[in-house]
Amino acid sequence: MVRANPVSVEAIRIETGPKPEAAVIWLHGLGADGHDFEPIVPELRLKKAVRFIFPHAPIRPVTINQGMRMRAWYDILQLGGGPEDEPGLRASQKITEELIGAQGMPSNKIVLAGFSQGGAIVLQTALRFPERLAGVVALSTYLPLASTLGAERSDANKDLPVFMAHGQYDDLIPLSRARSSREHMEKLGYKIEWHDYPMPHSVCAPEIADISAFFAKVI
């Protein structure tokens, strides 16, 4: 029996049918909350019963927003790269690991998904998680702490299915930064299902259809 563990953040839980066979843990972006991606669940039109978990990030000061307190998975010190908030990234990695353990099902039935900041955290977590996951969906994001991944990556998830998608007109996280992250992962042997769309820092209908197809393959 897989036991469910307690978690340190609040989360919204939606189940598409009785006795879910799989779970998707979906992390929102900076300044949003767990409600942000709730509307996507019916749009995915999944045939299996799936549990969706939408956690709320902790509230913390964010440097690029003049220290304003908001929901954030980690601090952002400057736009476009540069120094990273490693303690914040690793703390949210731990929260995500707690959420995996709280589902009461084998980890290979769990997909991690995230948008922007949330996408960075799911990449940070999934590629290092010691037990096999079902897949990871990283939207409009980049690979954080890239220089440590080679030493810290998990053998259990070395061939994990990775879905990455980005807007061609993203002015917050440039497409080039996402492509560099993809190339870094590919050099380490990860196989990336890559998509880009004519959109800004957002989500579009063709992307949702592609995410649905990815879920159908890995869940």
Residues with catalytic function? 116, 170, 201
Which tokens is 132 given?
């096999």
DSSP state of 159: T
Contacts of 131 (CB under 8 A, 6+ apart): 107, 108, 156
The answer to whether the CB of 96 falls within 8 A of the CB of 122 is yes
Encoded amino acid at 178, one letter = A
DSSP, collapsed to helix, strand or coil, labels residue 136 as: strand
Distances (CA, A) of 172 to 2, 100, 126: 40, 29, 23
Q: Give the H or E element holding residue 15.
A: strand 11-15
Phi-psi region of 42 (alpha: psi -120 to 50; beta: other; left: phi over 0): alpha
Structure tokens at 219: 């869940």
Residues in contact with 32: Cβ distance below 8 Å, sequence separation at least 6, in sequence order: 71
Other beta carbons within 10 Å of 50: 21
